[in-house]
Structure 1
């Protein structure tokens, strides 16, 4: 009997065409960034044109397509696709706004408040003690903490540096001096009960961060407090839409990288999300 070591699917892989649920304006924007970067670094040759590279990168970010599958369908190596993705993410993340500029922009448009919220992005669990800090006792899973600011319509304006899942939302905001930035811009923030206690100014001063009320076993909520919580929940609703737009990028379904790379990834997705939402 003769042994056959050929591939079961044949020497030539099958290639299929799929629709990418993004606008051509987003594709052209990323392609222009890549062209400008190639001109800046003096790169005279790439295996594929900038428009094709942009399409591959968006397929990875939006649909979480495997790099090996995209590489085989486009005649390049898997590491080449990975390098293109990291290069494009760096270019996009560099165009994310700074916190103080984002707050001043909202103030110039006549806005009075921003919406503050946090979310956990799940990660691939790795063995060893290095992944212990990513375990969130609140969500009972491994992940990375993402805290974002939106305007009153739910448009993402700023994403804080991604932190391990065990990090506290209040500690992260205090580390980045959020309340000082809000007072400098003349704005306030509306958040959920997870940020209760973040306001650390004079009790007689106007609060920089407004949250609801917490009930205790011997101190139930009054009718006025319940109405206040209901009103704040209605105002906070757009921030959930902002996170929903961000999580439409399926690459965030299971992040496989460290917090430093995840920060660049989330900020790059913020830039792409705003272009998609406002087109």
Structure 2
């Protein structure tokens, strides 16, 4: 994030935690602005907490406490900016795609393994506009879920009903505009191939959007934390990413 974007984030968090600097008692190890930087560092780079502790010259339990304490506050503070579908005109098309956020293969969690990706994790459904800007991400689902099934179950399909919608072949049957499949017994016509190329050119924006999300390494690399915390981590990152891409007028 740019210094200006970070200033916006810190000012929003300060409103949520006005009493960070205590007049009496033991002070926090870091000022609030630096604690927010620690949280962003953990989400952006997915480093071990011990490495973050050494870098910021604090103890590992303090790093863990900052992450637990500040994640929901950062998430809720950024919701005040109202990024996403709420700002998007109903006539503007949206692009839908999914990706696998990898995690350890916890035996207590069912259906995490995705045969398509040959890895364990969560199926994340992403909505972007045609400029590749993130508009919505909803409930993470087990990685074994097919994209079409995950789109319905996550709640994304209901959120985008008022928009023209584009998806890849995995979303056929969901009232999205999808590419032509090769029918049995004949090849695609030239017109159908041209439509597929145009569709692919437009839909590439959502793939760029997913690439930006995966640059937050806690989603792009293997997630190591408790699975019960992952929905909160995902929601925090998907509030931070629109801020990172935001440029004031």
Take 1:95 and 1:216, find their aligned partners in 2: how far apart are those partners? 50
TM superposition score normalised by structure 1: 0.76
> Residues 265 and 151 of structure 1: is their aligned pair in 2 closer, same or farther, counting only changes over 3 Å?
same
* Unaligned residue ranges in structure 2 (runs of 5+): none
Take 1:101 and 1:247, find their aligned partners in 2: how far apart are those partners? 19
Count residues in correspondence. 242
Which residue of structure 1 aligns with residue 197 of structure 2? 230
Equivalent residue runs for 1:172-191 within 5 Å = 172-183=150-161, 185=162, 187-191=163-167
Take 1:50 and 1:163, find their aligned partners in 2: how far apart are those partners? 33
Which residue of structure 2 aligns with residue 162 of structure 1? 140
* Unaligned residue ranges in structure 1 (runs of 5+): 1-21, 200-208
Is 1:65 the equivalent of 2:43? no
Tell me, yes or no, if the aligned pair for 1:71 and 1:78 is still in contact at 8 Å.
yes
Take 1:221 and 1:97, find their aligned partners in 2: how far apart are those partners? 45
User: Pairwise CA RMSD of aligned residues?
Assistant: 2.7
Which residue of structure 2 aligns with residue 210 of structure 1? 177
Take 1:259 and 1:197, find their aligned partners in 2: how far apart are those partners? 31
What is the aligned counterpart of 2:120 among 142, 153, 160? Answer: 142
TM superposition score normalised by structure 2: 0.84
Tell me, yes or no, if the aligned pair for 2:99 and 2:125 is still in contact at 8 Å.
yes
Tell me, yes or no, if the aligned pair for 1:96 and 1:270 is still in contact at 8 Å.
no
> Residues 43 and 174 of structure 1: is their aligned pair in 2 closer, same or farther, counting only changes over 3 Å?
farther
Q: Displacement, 1:165?
A: 0.4
> Residues 179 and 38 of structure 1: is their aligned pair in 2 closer, same or farther, counting only changes over 3 Å?
closer
Secondary structure of the equivalent of 1:210?
A: coil
Which one has the largest radius of gyration?
Answer: 1
Q: Displacement, 1:68?
A: 1.2
Tell me, yes or no, if the aligned pair for 2:123 and 2:150 is still in contact at 8 Å.
no
Which residue of structure 2 aligns with residue 276 of structure 1? 244
Question: Where does structure 1 differ by over 4 angstroms across 4 or more consecutive aligned residues?
Answer: 40-44, 95-98, 176-180
Tell me, yes or no, if the aligned pair for 2:13 and 2:74 is still in contact at 8 Å.
no
